[in-house]
């Protein structure tokens, strides 16, 4: 699932029911290369057809950086093949948006520029206490355009404008306050496992269809959303997991999920 030319730049590892995607460019502060983005898009897309994958964790190696954004040492940091209608970062953000498998960002250090896009595309996020967050693109004469597509609904409008227009960073405490992350902890792995434990014991069918529903109604008007969710709740009740969940509740036992 990784790029065959640069397989070491993105580590793709199955850990039980979780798929870990780790940017392995610590010397470059885990900056995104085109190989990393291509491999990440491919891995997320492939996971949709694998029912054994219950969660996808996105992170970087080491403790200094989650992802520093585009690799500014590259001559084509912000461009790919102009004949292609979609760039590599855009493709990753698109496949993440379409994912029915929950994505969790493990923010192990600095999360900057395009790294903020990887963070924002995830459904949940856990950050180390020393992590910092920012959109410094204006400092190098560009702007976080693609990142805004996934970030704009997470952060209050005026704070978002300040981040984009000044390029000044946020602390992990501020990121938590503004809703960029779910939790901040000195032990990011312990908190990540805590969150995974509370996700992985729930109905796979409910999570898969529920995440699909959540994402579909984001751009809908109220009446359209109500019509859509009326039909969705009926479909939820027809799943094997819904029947098992209700039976387990009545029988005062733990449910045994089939994921169907």
The pLDDT of 11-34, averaged and rounded, is 95
* Tokens read off for 64: 């200094």
Other beta carbons less than 10 A from residue 24's beta carbon: 17
The pLDDT of 50-57, averaged and rounded, is 96
- Using pLDDT thresholds of 50, 70 and 90, give the confidence band for residue 81: low
- Using pLDDT thresholds of 50, 70 and 90, give the confidence band for residue 72: confident
Tell me the C-alpha to C-alpha distance, in Å, between residue 164 and each of 84, 148, 157, 168, 169: 27, 9, 11, 8, 10
Q: Is the pLDDT of residue 23 over 50?
A: yes
Q: What is the pLDDT of residues 165-198, one digit of tens each?
A: 999 999 999 999 999 999 999 999 999 999 999 9
- Using pLDDT thresholds of 50, 70 and 90, give the confidence band for residue 70: confident
User: Quick one: pLDDT at residue 1?
Assistant: 41
* Tokens read off for 163: 């981040």
Q: What is the pLDDT of residues 215-247, one digit of tens each?
A: 999 989 999 999 999 989 888 899 999 999 999
């Amino acid at each position: 699932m990784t790029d065959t030319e640069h397989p070491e730049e993105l580590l793709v590892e199955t850990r039980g029911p979780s798929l870990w995607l780790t940017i392995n460019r610590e010397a470059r502060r885990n900056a995104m290369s085109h190989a990393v983005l291509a491999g990440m898009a491919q891995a997320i897309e492939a996971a949709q057809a694998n029912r054994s994958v219950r969660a996808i964790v996105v992170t970087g190696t080491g403790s200094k950086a989650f992802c520093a954004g585009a690799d500014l040492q590259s001559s084509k940091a912000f461009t790919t093949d102009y004949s292609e209608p979609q760039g590599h970062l855009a493709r990753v953000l698109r496949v993440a948006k379409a994912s029915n498998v929950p994505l969790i960002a493990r923010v192990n250090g600095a999360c900057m520029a395009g790294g903020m896009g990887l963070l924002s595309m995830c459904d949940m996020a856990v950050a180390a206490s020393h992590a910092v967050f920012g959109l410094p693109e204006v400092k190098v004469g560009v702007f976080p355009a693609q990142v805004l597509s996934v970030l704009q609904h997470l952060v209050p409008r005026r704070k978002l404008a300040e981040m984009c227009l000044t390029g000044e960073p946020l602390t992990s405490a501020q990121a938590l306050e503004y809703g960029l992350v779910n939790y901040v902890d000195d032990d990011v792995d312990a908190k990540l496992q805590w969150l995974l434990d509370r996700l992985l014991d729930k109905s796979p069918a409910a999570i898969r269809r529920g995440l699909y529903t959540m994402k579909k109604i984001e751009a809908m008007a109220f009446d359209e959303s109500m019509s859509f969710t009326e039909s969705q709740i009926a479909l939820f009740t027809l799943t094997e997991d819904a029947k098992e969940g209700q039976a387990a509740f009545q029988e005062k036992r733990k449910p045994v999920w089939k994921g169907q």
